[in-house]
Structure 1
């Protein structure tokens, strides 16, 4: 996991709201989520969930997820799932932990990105492949924003997701075909 920690963005106290995090992928939605998170931080290292919802009550965007963090042993429980994310999931994960979802338990990129944000106590941007039924989604860009009620321990993570369009060849066909 230490190789993922280099992805953690160090909080730039000189950053202007909307400046976003450095690195790939560039996404207006992810940059806006980061700017809102920075604003909610105020002078603290991390905001609490109530700080985010008080300042930005509409932050539970259709493309966000809120997960609670279990510390020992580390695990993540789905609390809230935005409507757009719910529409592309094969199952309603609300109330489930990542360790209960076979393709999300360790080792997985999803787990690694969430754990890296908890360890670094800083936002993490990442990309994960999309495997599902929606033909309108080619990949998932996300930012994991740590939240803390006591200002020290990460007890929740807010994940904002930007859905990448599917990759198509010049003739409009997908680059791979499904056999069978």
Structure 2
């Protein structure tokens, strides 16, 4: 992932919309909670939203919601699966476990541009991942938006996510 210092650098209205929503729900706290997130309030973003639950000892990421567009781009709906159980062959430049570990440690959003690889080309996409916390201290969920648009031709060449277990 090529990091962005600010989400506004990514030139993505949906990412700015999610950032604004996250900040509103956060109010004066370090992070909003999962219970603060109301899908009806961000309905236009849902196809490209990914929500994950963070588990500890050991640190693991379990995808609780994978938007329909994200599942289509992956070639597989990985809702209910752990990150370490998946082979994201389409991801060429992003260590997602390291991204989640950073969010857990820093309690701050991470955003940038990633490369999505199909069978014959690489397509850049923008993404932001935001921490959520039930107690305001420990990150226990995340909400992310992947701003990726593939043409029908590109969709024909998607390298599907494969379970490793």
Of structures 1 and 2, the one scoring higher in RCO (CA 8 A, sep 6+) is 2
Q: CA RMSD in A?
A: 3.1
Report 1:9-24 matches (<5 A).
21-22=6-7, 24=9
TM-score (normalizing by structure 2):
0.76
SS at match of 1:139: strand
Distance 1:164 1:62, change over 3 A: closer
* Residue aligning to 2:29: 44
CA distance in structure 2 between the aligned counterparts of 1:109 and 1:140, rounded to whole angstroms: 15
Larger Rg: 1
SS at match of 2:50: strand
TM-score (normalizing by structure 1):
0.70
CA distance in structure 2 between the aligned counterparts of 1:130 and 1:54, rounded to whole angstroms: 26
CA distance in structure 2 between the aligned counterparts of 1:163 and 1:48, rounded to whole angstroms: 26
SS at match of 2:131: strand
Deviation string 1:57-76 (CA, Å, 9 cap, x unpaired) is 63761110000001211110
**How many residue pairs align between the two structures?**
148
Choose between structure 1 and 2: higher helix proportion. Answer: 2
Deviation string 1:68-111 (CA, Å, 9 cap, x unpaired) is 0012111100101111111111222111111111348xx95222
* Residue aligning to 1:101: 86
Could you tell me which runs of 5 or more consecutive residues in structure 2 were left unpaired when the two chains were aligned: 155-165
* Residue aligning to 2:102: 116
Could you tell me which runs of 5 or more consecutive residues in structure 1 were left unpaired when the two chains were aligned: 10-20, 167-173, 175-180
Question: Offset of 1:165 from its aligned partner?
Answer: 6.0
Question: Offset of 1:40 from its aligned partner?
Answer: 0.2
